[in-house]
Amino acid sequence: MTMTLARKPRVIRPARSDWSLTLTINGVGYVVQPLPCRDFGAQKAFRLAKQAADGAIYDVCEHDFGAECDCPDFEFHRKGIDPAGCKHIQAVRACGLLGG
């Protein structure tokens, strides 16, 4: 006589959608995390947190009219002038997170 033990069904939890990416821009590391688009009225939004001592944080968003960043370079030198954007926008685009 063989006895078989009944197993409990395995509980499969849904995958979490939290993620982060480390991106190097000109030798400086940034941790990239997705942001809720509704907070920015954007199609896509990402936060780049600098890993250097100053720990600067920049938000990059993609809207219908293009991408924006809140870094000083974009705000004072590129906004409405340079369609390529700042180095943060260019790096996020190069990773495929924003449209070209």
Buried b (16+ CB within 10 A) or exposed e, 27-59: eeebebeeeeeeebebebbbebebeeeeeeebb
What lies within 8 Å, CB to CB, of 28 at 6+ separation is 50, 51, 52
Which pTM does this prediction carry?
0.77
Q: Which residue has the tokens 């979490």?
A: 16
CA distance 91 to 98: 9
pLDDT at 74 over 90: yes
How do residues 26-44 score in pLDDT, each as one tens digit?
A: 999 999 999 887 766 789 9
pLDDT at 1 over 80: no
Give 3 or 52, the one with higher predicted confidence.
52
Phi, psi of 86 (to 5 degrees): -80, 180
